[in-house]
Chain A
Amino acid sequence: DAGVIQSPRHEVTEMGQEVTLRCKPISGHDYLFWYRQTMMRGLELLIYFNNNVPIDDSGMPEDRFSAKMPNASFSTLKIQPSEPRDSAVYFCASSFGANSPLHFGNGTRLTVT
């Protein structure tokens, strides 16, 4: 089991550019989550999917953020245009079933200058 795989590990971009973060969940898991970690707000849920369908996106900060899950093995989180305040570590996590713990990837550290 390779675990949840996120890419890239680090991303540095300039304000105004589009950023795409990628996630491959653990095979067989039916839930996928995107979290963001900042010093000010800690770990906060952005959006989660069940069987590739977005269930709750109330944590997505603005329309500049969008997430997709075209199939069971891939998800993207896109920020367009990016702003310096988007700088954070973005985690993807997956789980199987309604009551199992989340398995997190190692995160993508995003820096927007």
Chain B
Amino acid sequence: DQQVKQNSPSLSVQEGRISILNCDYTNSMFDYFLWYKKYPAEGPTFLISISSIKDKNEDGRFTVFLNKSAKHLSLHIVPSQPGDSAVYFCAASGPDTGRRALTFGSGTRLQVQP
């Protein structure tokens, strides 16, 4: 039973355009969400997070939106750059799963075309 789902395995966008990566979750107890980026042969690196008391968090070109009623979050990258090409993982945690135990989605491979 996947509690965090990334239904798009891949996404291709043109340099300079917006990239939108989506994530859905089923556990209503999740209250903290994160996005990680992963390059080949490296570990995931933290990108941005959002707590359930907010519906938006922004950091430079990266913005995460949270829709609690729909149990959906998205990562927007504007403008997209070739260096953003990587696999993006959505992750979540909540008091019932253990605050420190992140549940990850299966990832979305983003390719930014020059």
Interface residues of A (CB under 8 A from B): 4, 31, 33, 42-45, 48, 50, 55-56, 91, 93, 95, 98-99, 101-107
> Is A48 touching B43 in the complex (CB atoms < 8 A)?
no
Contacts of A42 in B (CB 8 A): 104-107
For chain B residues 91-114, which have a beta carbon within 8 Å of chain A? 98-107
Find the B residue at minimum CB distance from A109: B41
How far, in whole Å, are A42 and B101 apart by their CA atoms in the complex? Answer: 15
Q: Can you show 18 pairs from A to B with CB atoms below 8 A apart?
A: A4-B43, A42-B104, A42-B105, A42-B106, A45-B101, A45-B102, A50-B100, A55-B100, A56-B98, A95-B100, A98-B99, A98-B100, A99-B32, A102-B46, A102-B102, A103-B46, A106-B41, A106-B43
How far, in whole Å, are A103 and B43 apart by their CA atoms in the complex? Answer: 8
Top 3 nearest A-B pairs (CB, nearest first) are A104-B43, A101-B46, A43-B104
Q: B86 to nearest A CB, angstroms?
A: 13
Q: In terms of DSSP, what is the predominant structure of the interface of chain B? A: loop
How far, in whole Å, are A45 and B34 apart by their CA atoms in the complex? Answer: 15
Partner of A104, one of B45, B101, B105: B45
Q: Mark B14-35, 1 if CB is under 8 A from A, else 0.
A: 0000000000000000001010
Contacts of B100 in A (CB 8 A): 31, 33, 48, 50, 55-56, 95, 98
Find the B residue at minimum CB distance from A3: B43
**B88 adjacent to chain A (CB < 8 Å):** no
Given the interface contacts A42-B105, A45-B101, does A101 sit within 8 Å of B49 by beta carbon?
yes
Find the B residue at minimum CB distance from A6: B43
> Is B43 touching A105 in the complex (CB atoms < 8 A)?
yes
Contacts of A105 in B (CB 8 A): 43
**B59 adjacent to chain A (CB < 8 Å):** no
Contacts of A91 in B (CB 8 A): 43-44
Find the A residue at minimum CB distance from B4: A42
Q: A107 to nearest B CB, angstroms?
A: 6
> Is A93 touching B101 in the complex (CB atoms < 8 A)?
no
Q: Mark B34-51, 1 if CB is under 8 A from A, else 0.
A: 101000011111100100
